[in-house]
Structure 1
Amino acid sequence: MASCAGKLLGKVAIVTASTEGIGFAIARRLGQDGAKVMISSRKEDNVKQAVEKLKNEKLEVEGMVCHVGKTNDRSNLVKKTIERFGAIDILVSNAAVNPYFGPMMNIKEEQWDKIFDINVKAAFLLCQEAVPHIAKRGSGSIILVSSVAGYSPLSLLGPYGVSKTALLGLAKAMAPELAQSNIRVNVLAPGIIKTNFSKAIWTNDNVHNQVVKQIPMNRMGEPEDCAGTVSFLASDDSKYITGESILVTGGMTARL
Protein backbone atom coordinates (compact mmCIF):
# COMPACT_ATOMS: atom_id res chain seq x y z
CA MET A 1 0.00 0.00 0.00
CA ALA A 2 1.47 3.34 -1.05
CA SER A 3 2.40 5.78 1.68
CA CYS A 4 1.01 9.31 1.76
CA ALA A 5 4.11 11.03 3.13
CA GLY A 6 3.41 13.94 5.41
CA LYS A 7 -0.24 13.41 6.29
CA LEU A 8 0.74 12.68 9.91
CA LEU A 9 3.51 15.26 10.06
CA GLY A 10 3.79 16.76 13.53
CA LYS A 11 1.86 13.90 15.14
CA VAL A 12 3.17 11.58 17.86
CA ALA A 13 2.05 7.96 18.05
CA ILE A 14 2.36 5.10 20.51
CA VAL A 15 2.00 1.59 19.09
CA THR A 16 2.03 -1.36 21.48
CA ALA A 17 3.32 -4.81 20.52
CA SER A 18 5.04 -3.19 17.58
CA THR A 19 8.33 -5.00 17.03
CA GLU A 20 6.96 -7.52 14.52
CA GLY A 21 3.89 -8.43 12.52
CA ILE A 22 0.91 -6.11 12.33
CA GLY A 23 2.19 -3.76 15.03
CA PHE A 24 5.54 -3.27 13.31
CA ALA A 25 3.87 -2.64 9.95
CA ILE A 26 1.61 -0.05 11.60
CA ALA A 27 4.53 1.70 13.31
CA ARG A 28 6.48 1.80 10.05
CA ARG A 29 3.54 3.20 8.09
CA LEU A 30 2.78 5.90 10.67
CA GLY A 31 6.45 6.87 10.54
CA GLN A 32 6.43 6.92 6.74
CA ASP A 33 3.43 9.22 6.86
CA GLY A 34 5.29 11.68 9.06
CA ALA A 35 4.54 10.70 12.65
CA LYS A 36 7.07 10.33 15.42
CA VAL A 37 6.52 6.85 16.80
CA MET A 38 7.18 5.15 20.13
CA ILE A 39 7.26 1.40 19.63
CA SER A 40 7.20 -1.18 22.39
CA SER A 41 7.08 -4.84 23.29
CA ARG A 42 7.93 -7.09 26.20
CA LYS A 43 11.43 -8.08 25.01
CA GLU A 44 14.29 -5.58 25.00
CA ASP A 45 16.19 -7.28 22.17
CA ASN A 46 13.13 -7.12 19.92
CA VAL A 47 12.68 -3.43 20.70
CA LYS A 48 16.32 -2.64 19.88
CA GLN A 49 16.20 -4.54 16.59
CA ALA A 50 12.94 -2.92 15.50
CA VAL A 51 14.11 0.59 16.40
CA GLU A 52 17.38 0.08 14.53
CA LYS A 53 15.56 -1.17 11.45
CA LEU A 54 13.15 1.75 11.34
CA LYS A 55 15.85 4.32 12.05
CA ASN A 56 17.84 2.88 9.16
CA GLU A 57 14.78 3.74 7.05
CA LYS A 58 15.15 7.36 8.24
CA LEU A 59 12.02 7.22 10.38
CA GLU A 60 11.78 9.11 13.66
CA VAL A 61 11.18 6.37 16.20
CA GLU A 62 12.10 5.40 19.71
CA GLY A 63 11.31 2.23 21.61
CA MET A 64 10.99 0.84 25.08
CA VAL A 65 10.08 -2.34 26.89
CA CYS A 66 6.44 -2.40 27.90
CA HIS A 67 4.38 -5.27 29.27
CA VAL A 68 0.92 -3.74 28.94
CA GLY A 69 -0.37 -5.90 31.76
CA LYS A 70 1.87 -4.05 34.23
CA THR A 71 0.71 -0.71 35.62
CA ASN A 72 4.21 0.76 35.86
CA ASP A 73 5.05 -0.26 32.30
CA ARG A 74 1.95 1.43 30.91
CA SER A 75 2.67 4.60 32.88
CA ASN A 76 6.29 4.62 31.78
CA LEU A 77 5.33 4.15 28.14
CA VAL A 78 3.20 7.28 28.25
CA LYS A 79 5.72 9.20 30.36
CA LYS A 80 8.69 8.37 28.15
CA THR A 81 6.76 9.26 25.01
CA ILE A 82 5.98 12.69 26.44
CA GLU A 83 9.59 13.15 27.54
CA ARG A 84 10.98 12.15 24.15
CA PHE A 85 8.45 13.66 21.75
CA GLY A 86 6.56 16.20 23.85
CA ALA A 87 3.03 14.99 23.19
CA ILE A 88 0.73 12.13 22.22
CA ASP A 89 -1.76 12.36 19.35
CA ILE A 90 -2.30 8.73 18.38
CA LEU A 91 -2.56 5.52 20.41
CA VAL A 92 -2.67 2.15 18.70
CA SER A 93 -3.46 -0.64 21.18
CA ASN A 94 -2.24 -3.79 19.48
CA ALA A 95 -0.98 -5.99 22.32
CA ALA A 96 -2.82 -9.29 22.79
CA VAL A 97 -2.24 -12.82 24.03
CA ASN A 98 -3.81 -16.20 23.52
CA PRO A 99 -2.53 -18.75 26.05
CA TYR A 100 -5.24 -21.28 25.22
CA PHE A 101 -6.12 -23.22 22.08
CA GLY A 102 -8.91 -25.78 22.32
CA PRO A 103 -12.59 -26.31 23.20
CA MET A 104 -13.92 -23.27 25.01
CA MET A 105 -15.44 -25.23 27.86
CA ASN A 106 -12.04 -26.66 28.81
CA ILE A 107 -10.25 -23.37 29.44
CA LYS A 108 -8.81 -22.81 32.92
CA GLU A 109 -9.72 -19.75 34.95
CA GLU A 110 -6.19 -18.39 34.95
CA GLN A 111 -6.02 -18.66 31.15
CA TRP A 112 -9.35 -16.86 30.83
CA ASP A 113 -8.15 -14.14 33.19
CA LYS A 114 -4.90 -13.64 31.27
CA ILE A 115 -6.73 -13.24 27.96
CA PHE A 116 -9.05 -10.58 29.35
CA ASP A 117 -6.43 -8.87 31.50
CA ILE A 118 -4.20 -8.23 28.50
CA ASN A 119 -6.58 -8.05 25.55
CA VAL A 120 -9.31 -5.93 27.15
CA LYS A 121 -8.48 -4.55 30.60
CA ALA A 122 -4.93 -3.42 29.75
CA ALA A 123 -6.15 -1.87 26.48
CA PHE A 124 -8.64 0.26 28.39
CA LEU A 125 -6.20 1.21 31.15
CA LEU A 126 -3.63 2.32 28.58
CA CYS A 127 -6.27 4.48 26.92
CA GLN A 128 -7.12 5.93 30.33
CA GLU A 129 -3.44 6.73 30.88
CA ALA A 130 -2.98 8.38 27.48
CA VAL A 131 -6.26 10.29 27.07
CA PRO A 132 -5.39 13.32 29.24
CA HIS A 133 -2.26 13.90 27.16
CA ILE A 134 -4.10 13.45 23.85
CA ALA A 135 -6.80 15.86 25.05
CA LYS A 136 -4.17 18.55 25.59
CA ARG A 137 -3.50 18.48 21.85
CA GLY A 138 -7.10 19.44 21.09
CA SER A 139 -7.77 16.30 19.08
CA GLY A 140 -6.47 12.79 18.59
CA SER A 141 -7.15 9.24 17.59
CA ILE A 142 -7.25 5.89 19.38
CA ILE A 143 -7.25 2.68 17.36
CA LEU A 144 -7.95 -0.63 19.08
CA VAL A 145 -6.80 -3.73 17.20
CA SER A 146 -9.51 -6.38 17.36
CA SER A 147 -9.91 -9.33 14.96
CA VAL A 148 -12.30 -10.99 12.57
CA ALA A 149 -12.59 -13.50 15.44
CA GLY A 150 -14.44 -10.78 17.33
CA TYR A 151 -17.21 -11.05 14.74
CA SER A 152 -17.08 -14.70 13.78
CA PRO A 153 -15.37 -16.90 16.41
CA LEU A 154 -12.69 -19.13 14.97
CA SER A 155 -12.54 -22.82 15.80
CA LEU A 156 -10.67 -23.55 19.06
CA LEU A 157 -10.08 -19.82 19.65
CA GLY A 158 -13.35 -19.07 21.44
CA PRO A 159 -12.09 -17.11 24.49
CA TYR A 160 -9.70 -15.09 22.34
CA GLY A 161 -12.60 -14.23 20.03
CA VAL A 162 -14.77 -13.12 22.96
CA SER A 163 -12.02 -10.77 24.13
CA LYS A 164 -11.82 -9.28 20.66
CA THR A 165 -15.61 -8.81 20.61
CA ALA A 166 -15.22 -6.92 23.89
CA LEU A 167 -12.94 -4.42 22.16
CA LEU A 168 -15.75 -3.56 19.76
CA GLY A 169 -17.91 -2.75 22.76
CA LEU A 170 -15.10 -0.81 24.40
CA ALA A 171 -14.74 1.44 21.38
CA LYS A 172 -18.50 1.98 21.20
CA ALA A 173 -18.56 2.94 24.88
CA MET A 174 -15.54 5.26 24.78
CA ALA A 175 -16.31 7.02 21.49
CA PRO A 176 -19.20 9.28 22.60
CA GLU A 177 -17.49 10.22 25.85
CA LEU A 178 -14.14 11.05 24.26
CA ALA A 179 -15.80 12.86 21.35
CA GLN A 180 -16.32 15.70 23.83
CA SER A 181 -12.52 16.09 23.83
CA ASN A 182 -12.35 15.68 20.05
CA ILE A 183 -10.69 12.28 20.45
CA ARG A 184 -11.87 9.61 18.04
CA VAL A 185 -11.95 5.89 18.91
CA ASN A 186 -12.09 3.28 16.17
CA VAL A 187 -11.27 -0.39 15.66
CA LEU A 188 -9.16 -2.30 13.17
CA ALA A 189 -10.35 -5.88 12.79
CA PRO A 190 -7.80 -7.88 10.77
CA GLY A 191 -8.67 -11.16 9.15
CA ILE A 192 -6.18 -14.00 8.84
CA ILE A 193 -2.87 -12.21 8.48
CA LYS A 194 0.48 -13.85 7.82
CA THR A 195 2.25 -13.33 11.17
CA ASN A 196 3.90 -15.46 13.83
CA PHE A 197 0.52 -15.67 15.58
CA SER A 198 -0.95 -17.46 12.55
CA LYS A 199 2.17 -19.50 11.75
CA ALA A 200 0.37 -22.81 12.36
CA ILE A 201 -1.88 -21.94 9.42
CA TRP A 202 0.50 -20.76 6.74
CA THR A 203 3.30 -23.25 7.43
CA ASN A 204 0.95 -26.21 6.89
CA ASP A 205 -0.04 -26.51 3.24
CA ASN A 206 -3.24 -28.43 3.91
CA VAL A 207 -4.45 -26.05 6.59
CA HIS A 208 -3.39 -23.04 4.53
CA ASN A 209 -5.32 -24.24 1.50
CA GLN A 210 -8.47 -24.85 3.55
CA VAL A 211 -8.26 -21.40 5.13
CA VAL A 212 -7.67 -19.59 1.85
CA LYS A 213 -10.85 -21.16 0.46
CA GLN A 214 -12.75 -19.06 3.01
CA ILE A 215 -11.18 -15.83 1.75
CA PRO A 216 -12.76 -14.37 -1.41
CA MET A 217 -9.51 -12.59 -2.33
CA ASN A 218 -7.86 -16.03 -2.31
CA ARG A 219 -4.89 -15.16 -0.12
CA MET A 220 -3.94 -14.51 3.48
CA GLY A 221 -3.34 -10.90 4.38
CA GLU A 222 0.06 -9.35 4.97
CA PRO A 223 0.77 -7.06 7.95
CA GLU A 224 1.13 -4.14 5.55
CA ASP A 225 -2.48 -4.69 4.44
CA CYS A 226 -3.54 -3.43 7.89
CA ALA A 227 -1.14 -0.51 8.17
CA GLY A 228 -2.74 1.87 5.69
CA THR A 229 -6.11 1.50 7.37
CA VAL A 230 -4.63 2.50 10.72
CA SER A 231 -2.88 5.49 9.14
CA PHE A 232 -6.24 6.55 7.67
CA LEU A 233 -7.95 6.23 11.07
CA ALA A 234 -5.12 8.21 12.68
CA SER A 235 -5.29 11.04 10.17
CA ASP A 236 -7.65 13.89 9.38
CA ASP A 237 -8.86 11.85 6.40
CA SER A 238 -11.15 10.15 8.94
CA LYS A 239 -11.85 13.19 11.14
CA TYR A 240 -15.64 12.55 11.15
CA ILE A 241 -15.37 8.84 11.92
CA THR A 242 -15.57 7.53 15.49
CA GLY A 243 -17.01 4.47 17.20
CA GLU A 244 -16.57 2.42 14.03
CA SER A 245 -14.67 -0.70 13.08
CA ILE A 246 -13.02 -1.57 9.78
CA LEU A 247 -12.56 -5.19 8.82
CA VAL A 248 -9.46 -5.99 6.79
CA THR A 249 -10.23 -9.58 5.90
CA GLY A 250 -9.98 -10.05 2.14
CA GLY A 251 -13.76 -10.36 2.04
CA MET A 252 -14.33 -13.02 4.72
CA THR A 253 -17.89 -13.05 6.00
CA ALA A 254 -18.02 -11.40 9.41
CA ARG A 255 -20.96 -10.05 11.34
CA LEU A 256 -22.21 -9.90 14.92
Structure 2
Amino acid sequence: MGTKHYTKLYNKSRKWLITVVLSIVIVTNTFLVSTTAWAAKTPTPKPTSPSNAESYQADANSTTVATSSSSTTTASSSATQSSSATATNPPSTAPYHHHHATVTVRYVDQTGKLLATGTADYPFGPFVGRPYTTHPQSINNYHFVRMGAGSLPATGILSHHGDNGIVTYVYAPAYHLTTKTINEYVEYVDENGKALTNPYRARPVTFATVADVLHHTTVTYFSRTKTTLTLDQQGRPVDQQNWTRGNQATLAAIPNPTIKGYHVASNNAPPF
Protein backbone atom coordinates (compact mmCIF):
# COMPACT_ATOMS: atom_id res chain seq x y z
CA MET A 1 0.00 0.00 0.00
CA GLY A 2 1.13 3.60 -0.51
CA THR A 3 0.00 7.12 0.20
CA LYS A 4 0.14 9.82 -2.51
CA HIS A 5 -0.03 13.55 -1.82
CA TYR A 6 -0.15 15.88 -4.80
CA THR A 7 -0.77 19.65 -5.36
CA LYS A 8 -1.20 21.23 -8.76
CA LEU A 9 -1.43 25.00 -9.53
CA TYR A 10 -1.96 26.01 -13.15
CA ASN A 11 -1.67 29.54 -14.48
CA LYS A 12 -3.70 29.74 -17.70
CA SER A 13 -2.30 33.12 -18.76
CA ARG A 14 1.34 32.09 -18.49
CA LYS A 15 0.76 28.42 -19.33
CA TRP A 16 3.37 27.30 -16.79
CA LEU A 17 3.13 24.36 -14.43
CA ILE A 18 4.45 25.85 -11.22
CA THR A 19 5.10 22.75 -9.20
CA VAL A 20 4.11 19.19 -8.72
CA VAL A 21 5.06 17.39 -5.54
CA LEU A 22 4.75 13.64 -5.40
CA SER A 23 5.64 11.77 -2.23
CA ILE A 24 5.51 8.01 -2.04
CA VAL A 25 6.55 6.23 1.13
CA ILE A 26 6.72 2.45 1.24
CA VAL A 27 7.40 0.55 4.48
CA THR A 28 8.65 -2.98 4.26
CA ASN A 29 9.97 -5.25 6.99
CA THR A 30 13.35 -3.53 7.29
CA PHE A 31 13.54 -0.39 5.13
CA LEU A 32 11.76 2.84 4.06
CA VAL A 33 11.76 4.19 0.53
CA SER A 34 10.68 7.71 -0.43
CA THR A 35 10.34 9.11 -3.90
CA THR A 36 9.86 12.81 -4.70
CA ALA A 37 9.18 14.07 -8.23
CA TRP A 38 9.74 17.74 -9.18
CA ALA A 39 8.09 18.68 -12.42
CA ALA A 40 9.98 20.68 -15.04
CA LYS A 41 8.58 23.61 -16.99
CA THR A 42 6.30 22.59 -19.86
CA PRO A 43 4.66 24.91 -22.39
CA THR A 44 1.61 22.78 -23.11
CA PRO A 45 0.38 20.93 -19.97
CA LYS A 46 -2.24 18.24 -20.44
CA PRO A 47 -4.37 17.74 -17.32
CA THR A 48 -4.95 14.13 -16.31
CA SER A 49 -7.32 12.55 -13.84
CA PRO A 50 -5.95 11.95 -10.32
CA SER A 51 -6.52 8.21 -10.67
CA ASN A 52 -4.18 7.99 -13.69
CA ALA A 53 -1.74 10.81 -12.92
CA GLU A 54 0.81 8.56 -11.21
CA SER A 55 1.27 4.78 -10.79
CA TYR A 56 3.69 2.64 -8.69
CA GLN A 57 4.56 -0.93 -7.96
CA ALA A 58 5.91 -2.14 -4.63
CA ASP A 59 7.38 -5.60 -4.06
CA ALA A 60 7.64 -6.62 -0.40
CA ASN A 61 10.61 -8.84 -1.20
CA SER A 62 12.55 -6.11 -3.06
CA THR A 63 14.47 -2.99 -2.08
CA THR A 64 13.39 -0.93 -5.17
CA VAL A 65 10.18 0.83 -6.09
CA ALA A 66 9.14 1.20 -9.76
CA THR A 67 7.19 4.37 -10.65
CA SER A 68 5.80 5.77 -13.90
CA SER A 69 5.07 9.42 -14.48
CA SER A 70 5.33 12.19 -17.03
CA SER A 71 8.29 13.47 -15.08
CA THR A 72 11.69 11.99 -14.22
CA THR A 73 11.90 10.40 -10.70
CA THR A 74 14.66 9.22 -8.41
CA ALA A 75 14.44 6.71 -5.53
CA SER A 76 16.60 6.50 -2.42
CA SER A 77 16.39 4.57 0.84
CA SER A 78 15.82 6.57 3.99
CA ALA A 79 15.72 5.63 7.64
CA THR A 80 14.08 8.91 8.67
CA GLN A 81 10.81 8.77 6.69
CA SER A 82 7.61 7.27 8.08
CA SER A 83 4.30 6.13 6.63
CA SER A 84 1.14 4.31 7.62
CA ALA A 85 1.67 1.76 4.86
CA THR A 86 3.12 -1.59 6.14
CA ALA A 87 3.89 -4.90 4.43
CA THR A 88 1.21 -7.47 5.28
CA ASN A 89 2.99 -10.51 3.81
CA PRO A 90 6.60 -10.76 5.01
CA PRO A 91 8.99 -12.98 3.06
CA SER A 92 8.55 -16.67 3.84
CA THR A 93 11.44 -18.74 5.12
CA ALA A 94 12.12 -22.00 3.31
CA PRO A 95 11.74 -25.02 5.66
CA TYR A 96 14.90 -26.82 6.76
CA HIS A 97 15.25 -30.15 4.97
CA HIS A 98 15.89 -33.19 7.15
CA HIS A 99 17.26 -36.50 5.86
CA HIS A 100 15.03 -39.42 6.81
CA ALA A 101 16.68 -42.07 9.05
CA THR A 102 15.48 -45.15 10.97
CA VAL A 103 16.64 -48.20 12.96
CA THR A 104 15.37 -51.80 12.87
CA VAL A 105 14.37 -53.55 16.13
CA ARG A 106 14.52 -57.35 16.50
CA TYR A 107 13.86 -59.75 19.39
CA VAL A 108 15.58 -63.15 19.13
CA ASP A 109 16.26 -66.20 21.28
CA GLN A 110 19.73 -67.38 22.23
CA THR A 111 20.12 -69.30 18.98
CA GLY A 112 19.28 -66.21 16.90
CA LYS A 113 15.75 -67.33 16.07
CA LEU A 114 13.50 -64.32 15.48
CA LEU A 115 10.79 -64.07 18.12
CA ALA A 116 9.31 -60.67 17.27
CA THR A 117 10.03 -57.32 15.64
CA GLY A 118 9.48 -53.86 17.02
CA THR A 119 9.45 -50.17 16.18
CA ALA A 120 11.72 -47.49 17.60
CA ASP A 121 10.42 -44.23 19.01
CA TYR A 122 11.61 -40.97 17.43
CA PRO A 123 10.67 -38.16 19.85
CA PHE A 124 11.84 -35.44 17.40
CA GLY A 125 11.17 -37.28 14.16
CA PRO A 126 13.09 -39.96 12.21
CA PHE A 127 15.79 -37.64 10.90
CA VAL A 128 19.59 -37.58 10.88
CA GLY A 129 20.97 -36.08 14.10
CA ARG A 130 17.81 -36.81 16.07
CA PRO A 131 17.51 -39.41 18.90
CA TYR A 132 15.79 -42.79 18.85
CA THR A 133 14.70 -45.03 21.75
CA THR A 134 13.80 -48.73 21.96
CA HIS A 135 12.61 -51.00 24.78
CA PRO A 136 12.43 -54.74 25.60
CA GLN A 137 9.12 -56.41 24.88
CA SER A 138 7.14 -58.82 26.98
CA ILE A 139 7.29 -62.13 25.12
CA ASN A 140 5.31 -65.09 26.40
CA ASN A 141 7.45 -67.80 28.05
CA TYR A 142 10.65 -65.78 27.52
CA HIS A 143 12.62 -63.23 29.51
CA PHE A 144 15.14 -60.66 28.32
CA VAL A 145 18.77 -61.53 29.14
CA ARG A 146 21.05 -59.17 27.16
CA MET A 147 21.62 -57.10 24.02
CA GLY A 148 22.78 -59.03 20.98
CA ALA A 149 26.37 -59.07 19.72
CA GLY A 150 26.88 -56.18 17.32
CA SER A 151 23.59 -54.59 18.29
CA LEU A 152 23.08 -50.84 18.16
CA PRO A 153 22.52 -49.25 21.60
CA ALA A 154 18.96 -49.40 22.86
CA THR A 155 18.95 -45.58 22.78
CA GLY A 156 21.10 -43.46 20.48
CA ILE A 157 21.38 -40.81 17.77
CA LEU A 158 20.57 -41.36 14.09
CA SER A 159 23.89 -40.75 12.37
CA HIS A 160 23.19 -41.10 8.65
CA HIS A 161 20.49 -41.20 6.01
CA GLY A 162 18.40 -44.38 5.65
CA ASP A 163 18.56 -47.49 7.85
CA ASN A 164 21.15 -46.94 10.60
CA GLY A 165 21.31 -50.61 11.66
CA ILE A 166 19.65 -53.14 13.98
CA VAL A 167 18.87 -53.04 17.70
CA THR A 168 18.82 -56.69 18.87
CA TYR A 169 17.33 -57.94 22.15
CA VAL A 170 18.19 -61.52 23.19
CA TYR A 171 15.72 -63.64 25.16
CA ALA A 172 15.97 -66.94 27.02
CA PRO A 173 13.15 -69.32 27.90
CA ALA A 174 11.36 -68.43 31.11
CA TYR A 175 12.28 -70.87 33.90
CA HIS A 176 10.18 -71.52 36.97
CA LEU A 177 12.30 -72.43 40.00
CA THR A 178 11.11 -74.10 43.20
CA THR A 179 13.32 -75.17 46.13
CA LYS A 180 12.80 -77.37 49.15
CA THR A 181 15.24 -77.98 52.02
CA ILE A 182 15.29 -81.21 54.02
CA ASN A 183 16.53 -80.93 57.60
CA GLU A 184 17.34 -84.04 59.65
CA TYR A 185 16.88 -83.49 63.36
CA VAL A 186 17.22 -86.35 65.89
CA GLU A 187 16.21 -86.21 69.55
CA TYR A 188 17.03 -88.77 72.25
CA VAL A 189 14.37 -89.06 74.93
CA ASP A 190 13.17 -91.56 77.54
CA GLU A 191 9.74 -93.18 77.62
CA ASN A 192 8.23 -90.00 79.12
CA GLY A 193 9.72 -87.66 76.47
CA LYS A 194 12.45 -86.30 78.72
CA ALA A 195 15.63 -85.40 76.79
CA LEU A 196 18.55 -87.63 77.69
CA THR A 197 21.30 -85.93 75.64
CA ASN A 198 21.77 -83.16 73.10
CA PRO A 199 19.87 -83.58 69.79
CA TYR A 200 21.65 -84.23 66.55
CA ARG A 201 21.25 -81.89 63.56
CA ALA A 202 22.38 -83.29 60.21
CA ARG A 203 23.57 -81.10 57.34
CA PRO A 204 20.49 -80.03 55.34
CA VAL A 205 19.87 -81.10 51.75
CA THR A 206 18.26 -78.63 49.35
CA PHE A 207 16.37 -79.74 46.26
CA ALA A 208 15.77 -77.28 43.38
CA THR A 209 13.39 -78.05 40.51
CA VAL A 210 13.73 -76.05 37.30
CA ALA A 211 10.72 -76.05 34.97
CA ASP A 212 11.12 -74.93 31.36
CA VAL A 213 7.62 -73.58 30.69
CA LEU A 214 8.33 -73.18 26.99
CA HIS A 215 9.37 -76.80 26.35
CA HIS A 216 7.37 -78.31 29.26
CA THR A 217 10.34 -80.02 30.86
CA THR A 218 11.66 -80.13 34.44
CA VAL A 219 15.08 -80.82 35.90
CA THR A 220 15.91 -81.32 39.61
CA TYR A 221 19.21 -80.57 41.37
CA PHE A 222 20.27 -81.02 44.99
CA SER A 223 23.01 -79.61 47.18
CA ARG A 224 24.34 -80.39 50.64
CA THR A 225 26.18 -77.07 50.93
CA LYS A 226 23.92 -74.47 49.30
CA THR A 227 20.30 -73.49 49.82
CA THR A 228 19.97 -70.87 47.05
CA LEU A 229 20.24 -71.73 43.36
CA THR A 230 21.13 -69.22 40.63
CA LEU A 231 20.43 -70.20 37.02
CA ASP A 232 22.35 -69.21 33.91
CA GLN A 233 20.71 -68.28 30.62
CA GLN A 234 20.27 -71.97 29.74
CA GLY A 235 18.45 -72.73 32.99
CA ARG A 236 21.40 -74.54 34.58
CA PRO A 237 23.06 -73.84 37.94
CA VAL A 238 25.70 -71.15 37.74
CA ASP A 239 27.54 -72.89 40.63
CA GLN A 240 27.66 -76.41 39.23
CA GLN A 241 30.33 -77.53 41.73
CA ASN A 242 27.82 -77.40 44.57
CA TRP A 243 24.72 -78.68 42.75
CA THR A 244 24.19 -82.23 41.54
CA ARG A 245 21.50 -83.22 39.09
CA GLY A 246 19.08 -85.69 40.70
CA ASN A 247 15.83 -85.84 42.61
CA GLN A 248 17.07 -88.07 45.42
CA ALA A 249 19.85 -87.71 47.97
CA THR A 250 20.94 -90.25 50.56
CA LEU A 251 21.11 -89.10 54.15
CA ALA A 252 24.07 -90.46 56.04
CA ALA A 253 23.43 -93.00 58.78
CA ILE A 254 23.56 -91.56 62.30
CA PRO A 255 24.94 -93.82 65.04
CA ASN A 256 22.98 -93.73 68.27
CA PRO A 257 24.88 -92.30 71.23
CA THR A 258 25.70 -94.43 74.23
CA ILE A 259 23.64 -93.33 77.22
CA LYS A 260 24.37 -95.01 80.56
CA GLY A 261 21.41 -97.00 81.77
CA TYR A 262 19.50 -96.77 78.47
CA HIS A 263 19.25 -98.63 75.21
CA VAL A 264 17.32 -97.90 72.04
CA ALA A 265 13.76 -99.11 72.28
CA SER A 266 12.26 -97.58 69.10
CA ASN A 267 12.40 -94.66 66.70
CA ASN A 268 10.08 -92.95 64.22
CA ALA A 269 12.69 -92.26 61.54
CA PRO A 270 11.36 -92.80 57.97
CA PRO A 271 12.61 -95.99 56.32
CA PHE A 272 15.18 -95.77 53.51
Q: Normalization by structure 1: what TM-score?
A: 0.17
More helix by share: 1
Which of 1 and 2 has higher RCO (CA within 8 Å, sep 6+)?
A: 1
More strand by share: 2
Q: Which has the larger radius of gyration?
A: 2
